[in-house]
A and B are shown apart, each in its own frame.
Chain A
Amino acid sequence: MTEYNTQILPSGDSAILVRFSEQISESINRKVISFRNNLEQINLPGIIETIPAYASLMIIYNPLIVSFKILYREIKEILDKTKDETLSKSRTITIPVCYDSTFSMDLQEVSQQTGLSPAEIIKIHYSSTYRIFMLGFTPGFPYMGETDERIACPRKSTPRQAVPEGSVGLAGRQTGIYPIESPGGWQIIGRTPLKIFNPGSENIFLLRAGDIIQFKPISISEFESISKTQ
């Protein structure tokens, strides 16, 4: 792989995009997150918020408080410091998932596509841990990867009008969780009783980019008892 020079680009007059690569990889995403953490630490006045994605960080700023020039210089300095990839520790979060046929609407379809039995697909899915590369699409939706090649599958050709809240899906080499009922085309293989988006509570978002996710298979009765605590 050729060396990619990190780019610092204005994205309009109130944001700067720091692009680390034009490819998806875990090590690049790690860089994005450590850079984000380092940037947050200096707490520079005028930075409103940041949006981490697979291989880039969007920094939203108020040009009345901090000039582009100063922000650019700060970003460069932090990038130099981030080079060694001294990793800030990732949180590991366990998400219970019920893979019962009541919830796993697309398990048969994935089974046909992959040639694996539903039981094998489920086992492969919960046997690895996944990194949250970014959140988006709907509030709190985690894009996680990479899944085992054996369970890679395309999105549904016709997206569903309404995917139920908590649904766990597959798309390409990614897995995700629907935080709210919404339209969507991921192949649904299970459901979590955990509320990953809770606008009424103090902890509104359960997950953040950079977290490591471990799925834990649960039965329907466990699903129901956890649901009650949410």
Chain B
Amino acid sequence: MDGIKFIKEGFLTTIQDLGRYGFQKFGMPVSGAMDSYSLKTANWLVGNPRESACFEITFQGPEIEFHCETVIGLSGAPMQASLNGNTLQSDTSYRVFRGDILRTGIVQQGVRSYLAIAGEIEIPEVMGSKSTYLRGRLGGFHGRKIEAGDEIAIKPSGFSDVRQLPYEFRQFFSTSQTLRIIPGTEVSYFELSGITSFLTSEYTVSPQNDRMGYRLSGQAITHKSGADIISSGITNGSIQVPGHGQPIIMLADHQTVGGYTQIANIVSVDIPLVGQLKTGDKIHFRETSLQEAHDLIEKQEQLFKNLYLL
């Protein structure tokens, strides 16, 4: 059987695609890659469709033995990596053969790296997606993170080219990011001074950051009267502010409904940047318009379409 075997598990590796849509009405989170941009570039490296499932590697990578002949590529946070002892570059694809050993180390910038394998990771789809939802213990490989000893079947696509991601698609992961936002559904619940704090001061990523969301600390954002609302739907990249005034960015595994005021939403093209921030990193928010947010989505879509024509 074609597949791969994990010799070492690393810090946290899960299988993710672009997420599980259509079930939020039942309270099912979407999940999917925290940095969906890098998942797509990783897939391009190995000739996969953009939305294919990859291994999302967090902080420190696994060691993998290949029991198949295929092509692999790493994108997202650059990390130490070698194939049979030879150094691998990020954003570049390589051929692998039976018995080859991929060793990955600690990320050098950013947080999350994506390993794409030409072909399919052969696990069942759960509600239309291969994404792992850890809290619900479903999707991915038996609903859990990858552990040493796991053997996972791979169906190689037959793709055998090696590629480098064009320069204009590469990312540099800084420890400080400016994220563009558009005002949220409860922006009118905040004092003007609270909104000013939010837009002009610096926020720090607190240790409470995971696939569900990032809690930030910084200048408190003040409400007019209260922080609680009747629970309503929330979306990826929305920024909630509970009573203590410290913002929380909702991310891939966020719950579907919440009862805190939402001050703003991060524009779609900037959400992947959040998943590359770690404890202590800095964030500034900058307001933009809905129109610009939509233009950015279209521009990025066009870029990816062109990339896939290469």
Chain A interface residues (CB < 8 Å from chain B): 9-15, 17, 19, 21-24, 48-58, 60, 63-64, 67-68, 134-141, 143, 180, 199, 204-205, 208-209
Contact = CB atoms under 8 A, between A and B. Distances in A.
B301 interface: yes
Contacts, number: 135
Identify the interface centre among B28, B298, B301: most chain A CB within 10 Å of its CB: B28
5 contacts: A19-B185, A54-B231, A140-B26, A140-B28, A199-B138
B297 A64 contact: yes
B169 interface: no
Given A64-B298, A180-B136, A13 B25 contact: no
Contacts of B294: 13, 63, 67-68
Contacts of A52: 25, 233
B298 A22 contact: no
A178 to B, nearest CB: 12
B24 interface: yes
B43 interface: no
B235 interface: yes
Secondary structure call for the B interface: mixed
Contacts of A12: 182, 184, 235-238, 265-268, 293
Nearest to A49: B22
A203 B74 CA distance: 38
B113 interface: no
B235 A58 contact: yes
Contact of A14 (B28, B135, B268, B298): B268
Contacts of A58: 232-235
Interface in B109-145: 126-127, 135-138
Nearest to A28: B230
Contact of B26 (A53, A56, A139): A139
A8 to B, nearest CB: 10
Interface string B22-34: 1111111100000
B262 interface: yes
Contacts of B266: 12
B168 to A, nearest CB: 21
Contact of B235 (A15, A53, A204, A209): A15
B127 A48 contact: no
Contacts of B237: 12
Nearest to A59: B233
Contacts of A50: 25
Given A13-B294, A22-B230, A64-B298, A51 B262 contact: no
B230 A53 contact: yes
Contacts of B229: 22
